[in-house]
Structure 1
Amino acid sequence: MKVTVGPAQYVRKSGLLSEIGLYIEKFGKKAVLIGGNISREIVETKLREGMANMGITLEQSLWYGGEASRTNVNDLVEKLNRVDYDVIIAAGGGKALDTVKAVAHHVNKPLAAIPTIAATCAATTPIWITYSDEGEFTDISRDSKVPDIVLVDADVILQSPVRYLIAGIGDTLAKWFETKTSVKKAAPNARNQTAIAIAGQLYETMLNIGKQSVVSMEEKRMTSELEDMIDAVILISGSVSGYGGDDCRTAGAHAIYSGLTIFPEVHETYHGEIVAFGILAMLCMEGEEEKEIEDLISYYQEVNLPYTLQQMNVTKLSEAQWKELGEVSVTIEDMANMPFDVTPDMVVAAVKQADSIGKKMLVK
């Protein structure tokens, strides 16, 4: 048995970047920053100053490439082969962090992650979600390094667009629904039962603090609810997968997300927003009562998550597109975690049913 639970250390603090050298110095005196363009603009000046106070230099600042693709990972590995450095610092959202996790694995260097948005648990998981250069999902890859330390500057998260937090809520909600589904295929043990317990408590917490955490982000006001939501999205959700391992993985909701990414119009919708709709479709596939789905949509309305295809810019699909959606979704690794065999027709029927229920809720 081998389990990677998460990073060795997680730190969340307002103004953390100003003292970041205290956390980086144990990895060496020469660092490389890799991340998104906007994220690097946000953190780089304070990062340089904070590290300089401890005698640490930033040797390079590199863009991750815009997609978590093999092409970008290989390009970055090649660039780093020409640099003298001790530690990699990753900054950005899920795709940037995932890309750098793969790079760190291949160059075998320490990795510090600075998530600049609270939209996924990418900072605390050992896998990376791989896309094509055009942004279509390809697979779940395991040639990835879990960060040695995750550094969350709460002020940076607070100043990010509220929509990223909303997407993070959608992605984190899936931990409960997918964990309790995927674990049905496994024999109960201490690890997967602990993962279920964490996922259940996480879900209850999110129901309680969701609306207030979004309001806090909109008002740019740090509250205990927002602090808890940041930790829920970035840290706690990752620990569910860590403890549960392959017994408690993503399932139908993420498979349907991946299927929907074949449509270019959905690429302007964030990962967690699409996953949130995927949860609704997965519940339909499992034959859950419509009342349960409506109750979940009511929560979506509170936190402004999408619950119809139209809200994700998918206005009309041809029969051929519906067929492709079903066929692609069932090939996704996540779908194999469902406790029953799923056919393309089942996917199409579930997506249509979820969309129909959502449309009825639009007027409520």
Structure 2
Amino acid sequence: MPLQFVQRIAPQEYISEINAYDRLADALKARYIKRVLFLHGTKSLQKALPYLPDLSKSGIAVVDVSFNGECSNSEIGRVMRIMKEERVDGIIGLGGGKVLDTAKAAGYKAGSYPVILLPTMASNCAAWSPLSVLYTDSGASIGHEIYPHSSSLVLVEPRVILDSPLDYFIAGVADTLAKWYESDFLLTHTTENRLALRFSREAARLCRDIPLKYAKKAIDDMRNGKLSDEWINVMETNIMASGLVGGFGDEYGRATAAHSVHDAITARPETHHFLHGIKVAYGIMVQLVIEQKWDEMKRLLPFYKSFNLPISLADLNLASLSQKELQVIADETVRPKALIHLHPLNISAQDVVNAILKLEDWAGKNHYKIKDISNP
């Protein structure tokens, strides 16, 4: 069965600049939004507040709603009900990926309301992509939904993201790196010769080359509060280039094996405090074992060491897994409709088990001992 090939390339409008939030009132007016729901995280709001305008001075009513913590069906439903009860004209999402994904889901499902996104972290491409990653209320991944239209506006204030937690930024770099490795096999093995797939391929290449070249400098600059060109390039790669891979490539540029491994291990409570991108980084290594790309793993090893990224079960507090528990993770990785089935190889649960065990052996031989990767 051929893969889906529909382009959902970008937000309708994207602005990344100092004082970007100053455009918010005019942007809402241009969309005939007079009453807006403002969904935000508590810490995110504290970081963004010095730069946010007072919309009431522009005649725009704001319905303030605090995010409950997970992009779950119950949270999406709660936000939708408030939107209906308050009769808003649009929704603003301010925060990290789960806040933005909840705003996108609620805005679309409530009746295709205009969605305005203000990312406060660059930990993933949630601000760019027209989809939401869904979780249970307890934090286990349950898949994703793709929407037929993009967000109306994305405003990026670099100073807010520069002041965000460093570990989230590192996780974003790891998640961005996965865009290359997950799309590589798909895009090199397709017989399709379409311009959009070439764009997807080049975007994926940037997701590999920019982090490998500039991430160390960018993270050092972020640690020192320096708004450098290298940091801006890596930050926008996390948000923009990673979103363009799937935007142009659709299922040819979607997450595959690495994210399926991530989805499976999120069910383990021992992993809940590890960020999304950290678990995806482990999934990249499992995928590379399945593809037998040992040289590429060796190439990545110094990068992984620099940022304390996991390559073994012990790194994710899973060293004590029994064979039965490992099999459960493998079965979950290849469950029906799992992303891994987009991969050109016909990967079985046994393939996943074998890959994890081979990776354990490889990690041991490389004497890779990391610090507490939950606090890079």
TM-score of the pair, normalised by structure 2: 0.90
Contact 1:186 1:247 in 2 (8 A): no
| Match among 57, 78, 83 for residue 81 of structure 2 | 78
Task: Give matches, 1:343-354, under 5 Å.
Answer: 343-354=348-359
1:269 aligns with 2:271: no
Task: Give matches, 1:41-120, under 5 Å.
Answer: 41-44=46-49, 46-49=51-54, 51-58=55-62, 60-107=63-110, 108-120=112-124
* Helix, strand or coil at the partner of 2:347: coil
Matching residue of 2:173: 169
* Helix, strand or coil at the partner of 2:272: helix
1:248 aligns with 2:253: yes
Matching residue of 1:40: 45
Contact 1:101 1:144 in 2 (8 A): no
Q: For 2:81 and 2:223, how far apart are their aligned partners in 1?
A: 41
- Structure 1 residues 63 and 125: alpha-carbon distance in aligned structure 2, compared to 1, 3 A threshold: same
Contact 1:181 1:251 in 2 (8 A): no
Deviates most, 38-47 or 327-336: 38-47
Gaps of 5+ in 1: none
Q: For 1:139 and 1:340, how far apart are their aligned partners in 2?
A: 21
Matching residue of 2:373: none
Q: For 1:324 and 1:162, how far apart are their aligned partners in 2?
A: 33
As a proportion of its length, which structure holds more helix? 1
| Match among 256, 263, 266 for residue 258 of structure 1 | 263
Q: For 1:223 and 1:270, how far apart are their aligned partners in 2?
A: 25
Q: For 1:135 and 1:125, how far apart are their aligned partners in 2?
A: 21
Contact 2:257 2:343 in 1 (8 A): yes
- Structure 1 residues 264 and 173: alpha-carbon distance in aligned structure 2, compared to 1, 3 A threshold: same
Q: Which amino acid in 1 is paired with 2:60?
A: I
Q: After superposition, what is the alpha-carbon deviation per residue over 1:177-213, rounded to whole angstroms, capped at 9, x for unaligned?
A: 1111233256232211221122113311221101011
Matching residue of 1:362: 368
* Helix, strand or coil at the partner of 1:129: strand
Q: Which amino acid in 2 is paired with 1:105?
A: Y
Q: Which amino acid in 2 is paired with 1:147?
A: S
* Helix, strand or coil at the partner of 2:155: strand
* Helix, strand or coil at the partner of 1:130: strand
Q: For 2:302 and 2:215, how far apart are their aligned partners in 1?
A: 12
Q: CA deviation at 1:239?
A: 0.9
Q: Which amino acid in 2 is paired with 1:229?
A: V
Q: For 1:85 and 1:172, how far apart are their aligned partners in 2?
A: 34
Structure 1 residue ranges, 4+ long, deviating more than 4 angstroms after superposition: none
* Helix, strand or coil at the partner of 2:86: coil
Q: For 1:363 and 1:104, how far apart are their aligned partners in 2?
A: 44
* Helix, strand or coil at the partner of 2:94: strand
Contact 1:9 1:149 in 2 (8 A): yes
Matching residue of 2:329: 325
Q: After superposition, what is the alpha-carbon deviation per residue over 1:11-67, rounded to whole angstroms, capped at 9, x for unaligned?
A: 112333344323333122222111222223333564352x34533232x11123211
Q: For 1:302 and 1:92, how far apart are their aligned partners in 2?
A: 27
Q: After superposition, what is the alpha-carbon deviation per residue over 1:259-303, rounded to whole angstroms, capped at 9, x for unaligned?
A: 1111111010000111111101100001112x3212212112223
| Match among 148, 155, 158 for residue 154 of structure 1 | 158
Gaps of 5+ in 2: 371-376
